Amino acid sequence: MYFESLSEAITSKGNPSVLGLDPKLEYVPPFLREGKSVSDALYDFNRGLIDSCADLIPAIKPQSAYYEMYGAEGLDALRRTIEYASRAGMYVILDAKRGDIGTTAEAYAKAYLCPGSDIDCITINPYLGSDGVKPFINECIANDKAVFSLIKTSNKSSAELQDIDIGAGKPFYRHVAELTVQWGADYIGTDGYSVIGGVVGATHPYQLAELRKLMPQTFFLIPGYGAQGGLAQDVALGFDSKGGGAIVNSSRGLMCAYQKQNDPENYKTHTRNAVIAMRDDIMQYVRK
C-alpha cells in the first residue's frame, strides 16, 4: 500500500532518484522534433529518455505545467508518457501541486488517482487544510495510491511564507509538517511510510535533517538537486537510518544531459550516464 511499491523499486534498482520530465519543446533534440506535432515531439523525447534508463531508475515525475503549457497537444503527450512509463514498470509521480476545498479536491483526486489510473502518486498543496487534503487521502486508500504534500519547497522565496515564526522560534513549515504527519497517521504502509509524503527541497539541508527527525514515517520527495544547487551530502540528510524514505528528483540535469556535451544525437547515452552519475553521487552518502 501507499509508497510500498516505490520503496521496493528503489531497493531493487539501488537508486533513490526520480527522472523529472519537464519538457519544453526547445529541449527536444532537433532530429526528434522535425516534422512532428508538438504531442509527438514531446512524447518521442520522453519515450527515448525512459528507454535510456528505465532499468536504472525507479520513477518518473512529469511536471504538469509544462504539458498544460502546450494545451491539448501537451496533455496528450503527458497521457501517453504516463502510460508508457507505467508499462515499463516505472512508478509515476504527477507533479501537479493541486489543492482546493473539499468537493473540488475530490474532483482533482478522482481526476488523477481513480481506479486503473497509471498515476501512482501526485503532489498536492496543503494551504487549504485537512478538508482539502482528506479527499486525496480517501482516494489513495481506496485505490492504493499516495500523495506528496508541500512542506518546505526548494525555491529561495519559500521562506516568505514557510519560515514565518509562529512562536518560540517554530517556523510555519514545522506546523505544516505536524499536520502532514497527523493526516497520515492512521494510514501507514507495510514499508513503514504513511500515505501522505512530503516535499522538502534539497536546497535546505538543515530543514531536511530537522524534518527527517520529526517525521520518521513520512516519505520525502526531494527536489532541488543539481541545477538548483542541492548537493548529494544535502539530500542524504533526507534519508532515514535504514537508507530509505526519500527519493531525489532531477529534471533538466537528466533530460538535457546531452546539452553539456553538445551532442543531441546521442541524448539517450548522455541521460543514461547522468542517471548513473547521480545515483553514484547520492548513494555514497546514503546509509545502506
**Rounded CA separation 193/117 (Å):** 22
Residue 159 as a binder of a second copy (CB under 8 A): the answer is yes
Residue 169 as a binder of a second copy (CB under 8 A): the answer is no
Query: Active site residue: 97, 110, 134, 268, which one?
Result: 97
Angle between helices 172-184 and 205-214 (to 10 degrees): 40
Looking at beta carbons only, is 7 or 43 nearer to a second copy? 43
Whether 260 is a known active-site residue: answer no
Longest dimension (CA), the chain: 61
Cell reading at 28: 527536444
Q: Is 30 exposed, middle or buried (0-12, 13-18, 19+ CB in 10 A)?
A: exposed
Beta bridge partners of 139: none
Q: Which of 36, 80, 175, 268 binds a second copy (CB under 8 A)?
A: 175
Helix intervals (H) in 171-216: 172-184, 205-214
Residue 160 as a binder of a second copy (CB under 8 A): the answer is yes
Looking at beta carbons only, is 158 or 250 nearer to a second copy? 158
Residues 6+ apart with CB under 8 A from 237: 205, 208, 209, 212
Q: Which of 16, 29, 62, 126 binds a second copy (CB under 8 A)?
A: 126
Q: Where are the beta strands (DSSP E) in 183-283?
A: 196-200, 220-222, 246-250
Residue 91 as a binder of a second copy (CB under 8 A): the answer is no
Q: Which of 7, 15, 39, 63 binds a second copy (CB under 8 A)?
A: 63
Residue 99 as a binder of a second copy (CB under 8 A): the answer is yes
DSSP state of 26: G
Q: Which of 37, 88, 130, 185 binds a second copy (CB under 8 A)?
A: 130
Residues labelled as active-site residues: 97
Binding site for a second copy (CB under 8 A): 22, 24, 63, 65-66, 68-69, 71-72, 75-76, 79, 97-102, 104-105, 107-108, 110-112, 125-132, 150, 153-162, 164-167, 172, 175-176, 179, 223
